[in-house]
Chain A
Amino acid sequence: MDEDFESRVIKVIAKTQRIPLETVSIDSTFEELKIDSLDGINLIFALESEFNVDIPDEDARSIRSVRQMAEGIAQLLAQKPPQQGAA
């Protein structure tokens, strides 16, 4: 994962969770950030919109840290078929 990608994920988390950017790192757990289950689902909603991916429900439930979240999205982006017919 490159740093730009990681910092984009972190930015979305900080903004959605309404916490200072510097409190979030790639190694933060949801517990440390006081992200409960409903917050976690809301974060996934925000990240789906940011990266235009669909995160399946089952995967969504098991995510408990920023790194897991970033890795999951990176994987989904890698699987995404290239955009066709873009002018």
Chain B
Amino acid sequence: MIRVAVTGIGVISALGPNRESFWRALSAGESGIRPMEIVAPGTVRFPNAAEARHYRTEDHFDEKEASLLDRFAQFAAVAAREAILDAGIKWTTDLQERTAIVTGSSTGGQTSEDESFRDYYERKQTRFSPFAIPKAMSNAGASRISFEHGVTGPVYTVSTACSSANHAIGQAFWLIRNGEARLAIAGGSEAPFSPGMLKAWEGMRVVSPDTCRPFSLDRKGLILGEGAGMLVLEHLDHAQSRGAHIYGEIAGFGMSSDAHHLTQPLAAGAARAMRSALRDADAPAEATWYINAHGTGTLANDPTETEAIRAVFGARISNVMVSSTKSMHGHALGAAGALEAAATLLALSRKIIPPTANFLAPDPACDLDVVPNTARAVEVEWALSNSFAFGGLNAVLAFRR
């Protein structure tokens, strides 16, 4: 079977404008959650968010380019540039034809859409810019990456709310494993901070009034985040033959649907996706695992995810460390799985497990080793990264150092 290596990582997040700033903060247990700047205080009940405040459009795009790209598509393109540079890819026509791009996004260019609709409804402007449609489409990020790098293989976008990026990376993994592509750029990007979207999240009553405390007593909900994570996936032989640095391998991918409820998670559904990823990865029974949890910090997710993890690992639970890096980079929705894949690969390759930050005290309903507040220097070979979406759609990736 074809094995799939990860040879490049690019990240934009609340923790900084690139991969190394992201890892520095994660490994130090530092949170990027701050008072929200994007809307006026008092616009929504929750004051804090994980904004990519270091990001400046003019550092990456000229004015003409920027006018054609929503923030989420800019994030995708910039993270992909970093990942491709990191991997040291030298493009040839043949490689461009055999490269795939699969991106995830939950809401696409909704910031641009919100703005254009406000022009129409609120400011009574009767004409729309011709850019409104191509800026808002969810594949705008994937298309931009394709233009920039001349990638002419299979390019598409997956949208499954908070599982989008994991579904996207899983698809790209399959494209390589099935021989459809030799190289793939895969991940997710999200820029959900428009006034309309923030009000909609307020209406759901799942956003914390202070910070994100996954698996902790007194957790009060999730914190919205933004950013992008992009990986370069590569046929292992291809990576080895060109002497590329390998962060790790994607060893397995599992999906399931709860078929249960629009917003309530179901442990059995989450467990099935995890088991499927584990079967695919075919790891030894005695392996020690790191799980980068979905860990949103909501009342509903964390105990359900705990139940699922316990059901899957049973007596082997003592060999499992779990942390939620959402406590630091926030919940970046359709980009979440990509940020967390980056965190997981860096954890394996640099031998440090990032903690669950903002942890106050154990919740008996979440009795796992959640690596509270302080990173742990430990060598782990195997990891899972969980994503569970509203609508009950689950996607789990398995990694190997």
Contact = CB atoms under 8 A, between A and B. Distances in A.
Interface of A: 36-38, 41, 44-45, 56-58, 60-61
B390 to A, nearest CB: 10
Contacts of A57: 45, 205, 209, 220-221
A60 B45 CA distance: 14
B263 interface: yes
- Grouping DSSP codes into helix (H, G, I), strand (E, B) and loop, the B interface class, with mixed when no group exceeds half, is loop
Interface string B236-261: 00000000000000000000000001
Given A57-B45, A61-B299, A41 B205 contact: yes
Contacts of B204: 41
B264 interface: yes
B196 interface: no
Interface in B185-222: 203-205, 209, 220-221
Contacts of B209: 57
B275 to A, nearest CB: 27
Which secondary structure characterizes the binding site on chain A?
helix
Interface of B: 45, 203-205, 209, 220-221, 261-264, 299-300
Given A36-B261, A57-B221, 13 more contacts: A36-B264, A37-B263, A37-B300, A38-B262, A38-B264, A41-B203, A41-B205, A44-B205, A45-B203, A57-B45, A57-B220, A60-B205, A61-B299
Nearest to B262: A38
A56 to B, nearest CB: 8
A61 B205 contact: yes
A45 B203 CA distance: 7
The 7 closest A-B pairs by CB, nearest first: A57-B205, A38-B263, A41-B205, A60-B205, A38-B262, A45-B203, A37-B264
Nearest to A45: B203
Contacts of B262: 38
20 contacts: A36-B261, A37-B264, A37-B300, A38-B261, A38-B263, A38-B264, A41-B203, A41-B204, A41-B205, A44-B205, A45-B203, A56-B45, A57-B45, A57-B205, A57-B209, A57-B220, A57-B221, A58-B220, A60-B205, A61-B299
A36 B263 CA distance: 10
Nearest to B202: A57
A33 to B, nearest CB: 17
Contacts of B220: 57-58
Nearest to B207: A57
Contacts of A41: 203-205
A41 B204 CA distance: 7
Contacts of A58: 220
**Most chain B CB atoms below 10 A, which of A45, A57, A60:** A57
A17 to B, nearest CB: 15
Contacts of A61: 205, 299
A58 B205 CA distance: 9
A44 B203 CA distance: 10
B344 to A, nearest CB: 30
Contacts of B300: 37
A60 B220 CA distance: 12
A14 to B, nearest CB: 21
A45 B205 CA distance: 10
B21 to A, nearest CB: 32
Nearest to A44: B205
Nearest to B46: A57
